[in-house]
Amino acid sequence: MTTPLTLTSGRRPDGTPSLTVGGEIDMSNAGTLSDALAGRPGPLVLDLTAVEYLDSAGLSVLFAHADRLELVVTSLLEPVVVFSGLADLVTVHGLSPDDDERRRN
């Protein structure tokens, strides 16, 4: 059974393409996210503020596209993004000052 996942395309005020993701990103739907990211070449802002769960399959997809992503996260995903090392590879908006400092050390 596939976990519900919503993907909404848009553009940031500066014109950068964006993709807003909602629901849960897990093994059952990571391929859908991967296909969506692959279909949008170039820089992309990935808004994960409506994501309630992110497992290792979802992280693998994000790592595969890290060279062109900017992430927007909430405190729920903050530890996952920081401790996985993904925050060292991409610009992350929404990190608390403590996590941002920890990432730099």
Give the domain CATH number at 40: 3.30.750.24
Residues 9 and 34 sit within 8 Å (Cβ to Cβ): no
Q: What is the pLDDT of residue 97?
A: 60
Q: Which residue has the tokens 């994000």?
A: 62
Residues 57 and 68 sit within 8 Å (Cβ to Cβ): no
Quote the pTM value: 0.87
Q: What is the pLDDT of residue 95?
A: 64
Task: State the maximum Cα–Cα separation within the chain, in Å, rounded to a whole number.
Answer: 41
For residue 104, being part of any structural domain is answered with no
Mean pLDDT of successive 10-residue segments in the chain (105 residues)? 90 93 97 95 95 96 97 94 96 70 45
Q: How far apart are CA 68 and CA 45, in angstroms?
A: 9
- In eight-state DSSP terms, residue 79 is H
Domain count, the chain: 1
For residue 41, being part of any structural domain is answered with yes
Domain ranges, residue 51? 5-99
For residue 21, being part of any structural domain is answered with yes
For residue 48, being part of any structural domain is answered with yes
Element of type H or E holding 10: strand 5-11
For residue 91, being part of any structural domain is answered with yes
For residue 22, being part of any structural domain is answered with yes
For residue 105, being part of any structural domain is answered with no
